Amino acid sequence: MNLDTLKMEARMAAFVRRKKAFEAQNGAVSSVLSEVLAGYRGVPLAGFMPINTEINPLASMAEASVHGMVGVPVIEAPATPLKFAQWAPNTELMVGAFKAKIPAQIDWMIPEILIVPLVAWDPEGGRLGYGGGFYDRTLEELRAHGPILAIGFAFNAQMARNLPLETTDQPLDMIVTEDEVITMKN
């Protein structure tokens, strides 16, 4: 079986697990993420606007926005790194690429902390995304310019062992779930 097939099968299994976790959640999934971010008050960070059954970081992002700059990803073109537009809870949004919401008025920012959505994660910091490579390219670019803390935010149920990863897949520094923080020894 080739790597693309392995990745497709791993994504399909992870989507099923994520959907079940999403449906079973109590809505207070971001309290652990808020606790982690409280240790970085004022550091520019970027989160994400959740789609479908992704875990929701918006409450934590709103709390962080009181203390510093917060952004959300903007896809400008396929096969390119993401850019980040400033966001606050009252920001007017519009639909961008891949149906993700983005600010209607773009003011760019560069994060030092990146909250990363994912399909599956492993205890070593491996991340399986949607397959577009946006976050891998983005993390590679941000890391080339200085330190960046990459936090994968996901449900416990999205954990998987032996993910089919490639050398271009950027590792996470930390995984935050609805009830746990796992720090990598990268």
Structure confidence by residue, pLDDT tens digits, 92-111? 999 988 788 999 999 999 99
* 3-state SS record for 49-99: CCCCCCCCCHHHHHHHHCCCCEEEEECCCCCCCCEEEECCCCCCEEECHHH
Whether residue 27 is predicted with pLDDT greater than 80 in this model: the reply is: no
Angle at 176 between CA 106 and CA 41, to 5 degrees: 55
Q: Of the candidates 175, 174, 145, which has an alpha carbon nearest to the alpha carbon of residue 159? A: 175
Angle at 50 between CA 16 and CA 11, to 5 degrees: 30
Domain ranges of the chain: 3-183
- Percentage of the chain exceeding pLDDT 70: 99
Matching CATH number, 3-183, of 3.40.50.10420, 3.40.50.2000, 3.40.190.80, 3.40.50.10140: 3.40.50.10420
- Of the listed ranges 23-27, 80-84, 157-161, the least confidently predicted one is 23-27
pLDDT at residue 186 in the model: 59
Burial of residue 127 (CB within 10 Å: 0-12, 13-18, 19+) is buried
CA distance 108 to 56: 22
